Amino acid sequence: MIRTKKTFSLIAVLAAGALALAGCSTTASTDSDDTMESTATTLTTSDTWVKAIDSGMTAAFGMVENPTDHDITIVSATTSASDMTELHETLENESGDMVMQPIEGGFTIPAGGMLMLEPGGNHIMIMGVTDPILAGDDVTVTLTLDDGSTLEFTAPAKDYSGANENYEGDDEMDMDHGDMDHDDMEMDE
C-alpha cells in the first residue's frame, strides 16, 4: 500500500548543505555498497538508543538503513519496555510549531535509503512505561515490516535532556492511553 516516499506528508527536507552533498555524491559510481545491496534481504539498524525515563513516555532512536533493492515499510513496533508503542513523525503544524504524531501507514524506507530516528524528528514512541528505564539498561525493540517479517534490535538507554518536543493535538486526538504530554520527554535534572 503505502510504498513510496511520496505518501509521507513530512518529506524530509535536508539541510541545504546536506542536500548539496547528497546530490553531489549520486554521481559516485564507485559505491561499494552496491555489492552489499544485491545480497541484503532486510533492514539494518545502527546507533540505536532509548531515552532513560522513570515512567511514562519515552522514545527509541537510531538509524535504519534499507540496503535492499526494494522499498520496505516498518508498519509497527513493540518494545520490552512497555505494552504501548507507536511510530511517530515530527512535522510543522499550522502555527509553525514542530509537533509529533503517529505516522499513518508506517515508515517506508526506499530501496537503498535510510531512516533517521532522532530527538526532534521521527521516532519510535514508547508509552505507558511503569518500570524505570535506567541509563545503561538495554531495551529490545522489534519492528514489524510490511512483508510480515520482524526485525529485532537492542537499544541501550541513555540520559538525555535535549530537544523540546510537542505533541500534536493534545486535546483533539483521543489518547486513551493516559498521559501524552510530551513534556514528559524532559528529564528531571
What's the burial of 95, exposed, middle or buried (CB within 10 Å: 0-12/13-18/19+)?
A: exposed
Q: How far is CA 148 from the centre of its chain?
A: 19
58: nearest Cα among 185, 181, 160, 161: 185
166-167 vs 98-102, strand pairing mode: parallel
Inter-residue contact 64 to 117 (CB < 8 Å)? yes
- Among 1, 95, 96, 176, indicate the residue that binds another protein (CB under 8 A): 96
Site for another protein in 4-23 (CB under 8 A): 5, 8, 10-15, 17-18, 20-23
Single residue of 47, 152, 181, 186 touching another protein by CB under 8 A: 47
Task: Tell me the backbone φ, ψ of residue 39, rounded to 5 degrees.
Answer: -105, -20
Minimum distance, C-beta of residue 30 to another protein, in the bound complex (Å): 5
Decide: is 98 part of the binding site for another protein (CB under 8 A): yes
SS3 state at 86: strand
Interface residue with another protein among 108, 127, 168, 184 (CB under 8 A) is 108
Q: Does 27 bind another protein (CB under 8 A)?
A: yes
Site membership for another protein, residue 2 (CB under 8 A): no
Is 86:125 a contact under the CB 8 Å cutoff? yes
Site for another protein in 126-165 (CB under 8 A): 134-137, 156, 158-160, 162-163
Please report, as ranges, the residues that interact with another protein according to CB under 8 A.
5, 8, 10-15, 17-18, 20-34, 36-37, 47-49, 51-52, 61, 63, 67, 89-92, 96, 98, 107-116, 118-122, 134-137, 156, 158-160, 162-163
